[in-house]
Amino acid sequence: MALHPDRFFSPEPSQRQVARLLYAHVADLPLVCPHGHVDPRLFAEPAYQFESPLALIVLPDHYLLRMLYSQGVPLESLGVPTLDGTPYERDPRRAWRRFAEHFYLFRGTPSGIWLTHIFESIFGIQERLSAETADLFYDHIAARLAQPDFQPRHLYDRFKIEVLCTTDTATDTLEHHMAIRQSGWHGRILPTFRPDSVINLDTPDWRANIEQLSACSGIYIHDYRTFIQALETQRTFFRSMGAVASDHGAASPYTEHLSYAEANFIFQRALRGTISADEARRFTGHMLIESARMSAEDGLVMQLHVGSWRNHNPRLLRRFGRDKGADIPQIAEFTRNLKPLLDAFGDDLRLTLIVFTLDESTYARELAPLAGHYPALKLGAPWWFHDSLNGMARYFDQVMETCGIYNTAGFNDDTRAFLSIPARHDLWRRAACNWLAGLVVRGIVDESDAAEMAVELAVGLARRAYRL
Amino acid sequence: MALHPDRFFSPEPSQRQVARLLYAHVADLPLVCPHGHVDPRLFAEPAYQFESPLALIVLPDHYLLRMLYSQGVPLESLGVPTLDGTPYERDPRRAWRRFAEHFYLFRGTPSGIWLTHIFESIFGIQERLSAETADLFYDHIAARLAQPDFQPRHLYDRFKIEVLCTTDTATDTLEHHMAIRQSGWHGRILPTFRPDSVINLDTPDWRANIEQLSACSGIYIHDYRTFIQALETQRTFFRSMGAVASDHGAASPYTEHLSYAEANFIFQRALRGTISADEARRFTGHMLIESARMSAEDGLVMQLHVGSWRNHNPRLLRRFGRDKGADIPQIAEFTRNLKPLLDAFGDDLRLTLIVFTLDESTYARELAPLAGHYPALKLGAPWWFHDSLNGMARYFDQVMETCGIYNTAGFNDDTRAFLSIPARHDLWRRAACNWLAGLVVRGIVDESDAAEMAVELAVGLARRAYRL
Amino acid sequence: MALHPDRFFSPEPSQRQVARLLYAHVADLPLVCPHGHVDPRLFAEPAYQFESPLALIVLPDHYLLRMLYSQGVPLESLGVPTLDGTPYERDPRRAWRRFAEHFYLFRGTPSGIWLTHIFESIFGIQERLSAETADLFYDHIAARLAQPDFQPRHLYDRFKIEVLCTTDTATDTLEHHMAIRQSGWHGRILPTFRPDSVINLDTPDWRANIEQLSACSGIYIHDYRTFIQALETQRTFFRSMGAVASDHGAASPYTEHLSYAEANFIFQRALRGTISADEARRFTGHMLIESARMSAEDGLVMQLHVGSWRNHNPRLLRRFGRDKGADIPQIAEFTRNLKPLLDAFGDDLRLTLIVFTLDESTYARELAPLAGHYPALKLGAPWWFHDSLNGMARYFDQVMETCGIYNTAGFNDDTRAFLSIPARHDLWRRAACNWLAGLVVRGIVDESDAAEMAVELAVGLARRAYRL
């Protein structure tokens, strides 16, 4: 199907008309991408070429894999490599056909929206993907991938990206970022400091991660004090490489201040491999406060993503590894859990803490009220499953009345699917303009206010929240 | 008021127009009724006649009783029989008048919608029910009930029912189902296996239920092993009588795998009448996994309804017994609670587990993500209070983006009010077509996709999920 | 911006047209204000004059203070007096300018809506408040405040207020209410009995509050029995002064019946200052049941507001005191927590218990089902952050299908900002008419039903629920 010029707008003519006008203001603004998971390697090699339509579009996208798997399509048949020696489809074209046969599953889903946008606006294909058209799509896309103007650096410009932040583990040497800077290319690809694998003491291979942290920081970590020093050293390194933010993932937003002695006691037990689940939880809660302290001091914006139960399906994890679509959200609670952190740094104007949730019941009940009071707190964009048309509508509906747009951090695309970035910003901008148009036609804001707000939501809030 | 031909559709003309077209595709499709509580006796006797307007419409409908009671109308005055000897209204016409006087309470509620539909489309009455028209309604309905074309078997055909599943306790002898089959009538009335009263060890009269299970299965139950055998025997019997599904009610979706020794220990304690609340809870959790195992093996689709606090009002229970509108929903949690069951059978393509919730905050947060990953899991239709126009809209809004329509189980009417079945399917089909029309006018799916999806939502998904 | 005549209505022409007609029925009805926080002193002095635009509009409004503070505006700079000696802005005009500069923050928020309404309909200013217009607004408002027709008693009439209930602590001597009654003025200003500060044993200065209760009731409180006697005495006094309701605030709706011995034991420990947090919680839970008992006996309607974490920000509390916008909502649970109270009084037709929540996930899951069953229970209007256009839409959407409008208590404005009362009722009436218009254009109720319902929602339900 062809992309509808008024897609995602209310069908009501007066609202649609206002939405269209507002969208015209923001449609061509550059894309500000302060949080995502694109591989920096794409930009490190000037002539980087994507491998195959399958490797480009299907394999890295856990949204696609989960939906196909839920309908009984074995991941092996989609060409997902196995870790346990089970045979899997090696022919990317045959795996692509399996995907194409099941494309109807994505009707009415964000994946359907993004893929339709990619096929039409990036590859110029207006057909519908299906068993019949699988090869046509495959051939056409494969041919495009081979052309020089399809190299990521060209696409970066074509997409009008202003800045793209990646997510990099705390022990990363940032070699690709280094290569990008040294190449003299004008693109702005920035690393983000993600210390989960050393902060969450129950991470698999935590001991090895600590050794890596020792190695890359040059600080021999043997107690809590040296651990903190090493983290601070790496933060300094990341900042020197352009980082503007850190990112933290946790099962819950639990925070608790531990004394030095307690923190060191737990850390030492972790070094000896005798940590309990509760100790790990408390240590993470303490390190969130400690990370807020570091952020207040060094200026890295602190992002906190909570509520994902990673690798919920152990059978899938054993066979295929992480990030295959088996992470499941959980209930979250912020009013009580964040209080120790907010007691310490909630009023600190040096800190920006951006919180993301998977539990929408916390939007109106906890997060908007908290962000509408604490100067340090901002509410992040609708995350993951909620990064969708209805998810955005619910976010605007439940958040904005209480904290206003100015206590939110605008949009981020949060994707590892580079090609989907324009589609995701387009969806957000249209959803935002449609929401604003709804305010205008209901007499709540006037068109000039709405136009300013549209620009803020498209680029301004993200730029300011992330100090870009 | 007359039934509006465009009822439940968006008033916006372009969306309404598409909704109308889509609805025209599905309005006359047969009714697939895979889950409900209609009494099979209605079809066992070819010339079954409904007793009175009161007995037909008011007394079995706990939605009506609760609302009337909430406004201070004593159930005695509505003709609800008492268990404790309290006098109650014996004249159905006078009780009907009490109901009619309070019909205004149902303005804007699903009961109001269903009753208006029944009065007009089944009885041809377009007046408004009130104190003034109470007798007119009563006389008209009573006259219709006496006519042969109002016998349930005639209505089954008039309603275009394709299949109607009842809900039958595990110890039921299915005599009415037997009579239906033996009568040679073409209607398809199927039993559903509901073992709550023997699986939930804290059920009142559990010991007597076990004795009944022994009796009907022919297996003397004296330990956990014989208990399982008896259940399996009854499942086989139900399947031989056409059953396609089991149904399970539980306060929460808690699941836990017990060893044989543990399960047997708890079961033996229950036989001796010394069970604790926690043991009962754990045993139910274990039996949910065990029921999933049986379903994987024998092919009965497993339905799980969780979150109802039955008989919340003890005074009402003592005087009037169960099912009088005093069941109240509770918070539910699935990501953690269902994990042991999903660890064991979530990837098993032989199993279909259909989950129903009363806690809508779990739709987008837990259930849609789970159903959008695990092949065995499907999400059931909006249940009970949520089987309403807004409840459906919230369901479409919060569920479909994440798990797509194909991981849902379509619609079921879940009613003991036989006459309301067409009204309930009509509401669902209209709500579904209106939702799809919203996708069309926003450029998310095209009309041909929407037309296919409308048929799936009306009949296809339910047929496939229940293997009908 | 000018007030839009069709503000808050759907832009869809057919719905807007019906909403307009319905609104015309209710726009000029008197304002029934059964719950709020306006200071009775305003009406005690016939010639009361508001102090300054700042003191009138900004300082008492914690919605404004929180939003400004969240964006880094120090409360000192807004003229909020400090408790700890920190200097603060003493010039109200300069503080007003700070507010005016940041007025854009309220775009799309209820505060923005109310203030715009106040500026235009009460002060006749159609400009937009900003740094540029700050002085213009200040001068204009200050001039109006000095005029006799701006005295609160004149505004009471101009606003068409029918009755206005204040909230008064249980130990209040009600001197202002006394003065109002003695003045012979026709306005109806009624006190409301709020015993939190003596019932919640962990209230700061609880011991002093008890002494005050002893003093004002004339009953020397030395045990639980005399405590109850003193409360009953004060309730009688409040009733003699026109009170129709009590109001109770609690962190959660936890209820538990304690024996006399237990209650007395805890109370005696509190008198000695040795109370634990859990004992305080249980005592509050017990006193909610005891208050329901008193309400059943003396006829005061019982209001219960739960879920606010008061003074979440300790730094702010120390410097500025209570009610500065740092109260944050929490998760609530009613099905289990209210059961002991409902077991005792849920069926008691003498009691009206009106429950308010900050956790919207309980609307459809718990509160509407409970209110749709228990005769004593009514659901209060959307509270605090949810007293907004979207908050009302969610309330109508999630509540009305299950409990109908007749189990709700209509609207109350719950404000200490006297000038905002007409704006708040206007928003509610428009939101209600728009919701009803949606039912009409979808064929769910007809226009005559809708017109009756509109009047009920505007005034009838509140009058009856509060026995006014």
Which of A92, A189, A87, A176 is CA-nearest to residue A142?
A: A92
- Residue range C49-150, CATH number: 1.10.2020.10
When pLDDT is averaged across residues C366-370 and rounded to a whole number, the result is: 98
Which of A380, A395, A389, A376 is CA-nearest to residue A19?
A: A389
Chain C residues whose beta carbon lies within 8 Å of the beta carbon of residue A441: 11
Chain B residues whose beta carbon lies within 8 Å of the beta carbon of residue C456: none
What is the per-residue pLDDT for C2? 73
- Residue range B13-47+160-465, CATH number: 3.20.20.140
Interface mutation vs chain C, best among B6, B107, B383, most C CBs within 10 Å: B107
What is the per-residue pLDDT for C191? 98
d(CA C384, nearest CA chain A) in Å: 10
Chain B residues whose beta carbon lies within 8 Å of the beta carbon of residue C448: none
> What 3 state SS string does chain B have?
CCCCCCCCCCCCHHHHHHHHHHHHHHCCCCEEECCCCCCCHHHHCCCCCCCCHHHHHHCCCHHHHHHHHHCCCCHHHHCCCCCCCCCCCCCHHHHHHHHHHCHHHHCCCHHHHHHHHHHHHHCCCCCCCCCCCHHHHHHHHHHHHCCHHHCHHHHHHHCCEEEEECCEECCCCCHHHHHHHHHCCCCCEECCEECHHHHCCCCCCHHHHHHHHHHHHCCCCCCHHHHHHHHHHHHHHHHHCCCCEEEEEECCCCCCCCCHHHHHHHHHHHHCCCCCHHHHHHHHHHHHHHHHHHHHHHCCEEEEEECEECCCCHHHHHHHCCCCCCCEECCCCCCCCCHHHHHHHCCCCCCCEEEECCCCHHHHHHHHHHHCCCCCEEECCCCHHHCCHHHHHHHHHHHHHHHCHHHECCCCCCCCCHHHHHHHHHHHHHHHHHHHHHHHHCCCCCHHHHHHHHHHHHHHHHHHHCCC
Asked if A353 contacts A378 with a C-beta cutoff of 8 angstroms, the reply is: yes
Chain A residues whose beta carbon lies within 8 Å of the beta carbon of residue C8: 442-444
What is the per-residue pLDDT for C1? 58
What is the per-residue pLDDT for A82? 98
Question: Tokens in use for B64?
Answer: 């009506």
pLDDT in tens, C41-81: 999 999 999 999 999 999 999 999 999 999 999 999 999 99
Token pair 């003491």 is at which residue? A201
Give me the tens of pLDDT residue by residue for chain B, a chain 468 residues long. 579 999 999 999 999 999 999 999 999 999 999 999 999 999 999 999 999 999 999 999 999 999 999 999 999 999 999 999 999 999 999 999 999 999 999 999 999 999 999 999 999 999 999 999 999 999 999 999 999 999 999 999 999 999 999 999 999 999 999 999 999 999 999 999 999 999 999 998 999 999 999 999 999 999 999 999 999 999 999 999 999 999 999 999 999 999 999 999 999 999 999 999 999 999 999 999 999 999 999 999 999 999 999 999 999 999 999 999 999 999 999 999 999 999 999 999 999 999 999 999 999 999 999 999 999 999 999 999 999 999 999 999 999 999 999 999 999 999 999 999 999 999 999 999 999 999 999 999 999 999 999 999 999 999 999 999
In this complex, do B442 and A309 lie within 8 Å of one another by their Cβ atoms? no
In this complex, do A442 and C9 lie within 8 Å of one another by their Cβ atoms? yes
Which of B109, B115, B145, B110 is CA-nearest to residue B128?
A: B115
Which of C304, C456, C107 is CA-nearest to residue A436?
A: C107
d(CA A240, CA A84): 40
Closest CB from A1, A71, A361 relative to B406: A71
Question: Tokens in use for A403?
Answer: 């904290």
The DSSP bridge partners found for residue B177 are none
Read off the pLDDT band of C401 (50, 70, 90). very high
In this complex, do C442 and B7 lie within 8 Å of one another by their Cβ atoms? yes
Angle B287-B292-B298 from CA coordinates, rounded to 5°: 120
CB pairs < 8 Å spanning A and C? 131
What is the per-residue pLDDT for A1? 58
In this complex, do B107 and C449 lie within 8 Å of one another by their Cβ atoms? yes
What is the domain partition of chain C in residue ranges? 13-47+160-465, 49-150
In this complex, do A444 and C330 lie within 8 Å of one another by their Cβ atoms? no
d(CA A39, nearest CA chain B) in Å: 25
What is the per-residue pLDDT for B1? 57
Interface mutation vs chain B, best among A309, A328, A330, A435, most B CBs within 10 Å: A328
Global pTM?
0.98
Q: What single DSSP character describes residue C303? A: E
> How buried is residue B166: exposed, middle or buried, by Cβ count under 10 Å (0-12/13-18/19+)?
buried
Q: Is B404 left (phi over 0), alpha (psi -120 to 50) or beta?
A: left
> How buried is residue B429: exposed, middle or buried, by Cβ count under 10 Å (0-12/13-18/19+)?
buried
What is the per-residue pLDDT for B2? 73
pLDDT in tens, C223-244: 999 999 999 999 999 999 999 9
The DSSP bridge partners found for residue B304 are B248, B355
Which of B446, C106, B372 is CA-nearest to residue A385?
A: B372
In this complex, do B389 and C401 lie within 8 Å of one another by their Cβ atoms? yes
Interface mutation vs chain B, best among C345, C365, C456, most B CBs within 10 Å: C365
What is the per-residue pLDDT for A204? 87
Chain B residues whose beta carbon lies within 8 Å of the beta carbon of residue A12: 12
Give me the tens of pLDDT residue by residue for chain A, a chain 468 residues long. 579 999 999 999 999 999 999 999 999 999 999 999 999 999 999 999 999 999 999 999 999 999 999 999 999 999 999 999 999 999 999 999 999 999 999 999 999 999 999 999 999 999 999 999 999 999 999 999 999 999 999 999 999 999 999 999 999 999 999 999 999 999 999 999 999 999 999 998 999 999 999 999 999 999 999 999 999 999 999 999 999 999 999 999 999 999 999 999 999 999 999 999 999 999 999 999 999 999 999 999 999 999 999 999 999 999 999 999 999 999 999 999 999 999 999 999 999 999 999 999 999 999 999 999 999 999 999 999 999 999 999 999 999 999 999 999 999 999 999 999 999 999 999 999 999 999 999 999 999 999 999 999 999 999 999 999
Chain B residues whose beta carbon lies within 8 Å of the beta carbon of residue C403: 67, 70
When pLDDT is averaged across residues C210-215 and rounded to a whole number, the result is: 98
Same fold flag, C13-47+160-465 and C49-150: no
Subunit partners of chain C (3 or more CB pairs within 8 A)? A, B
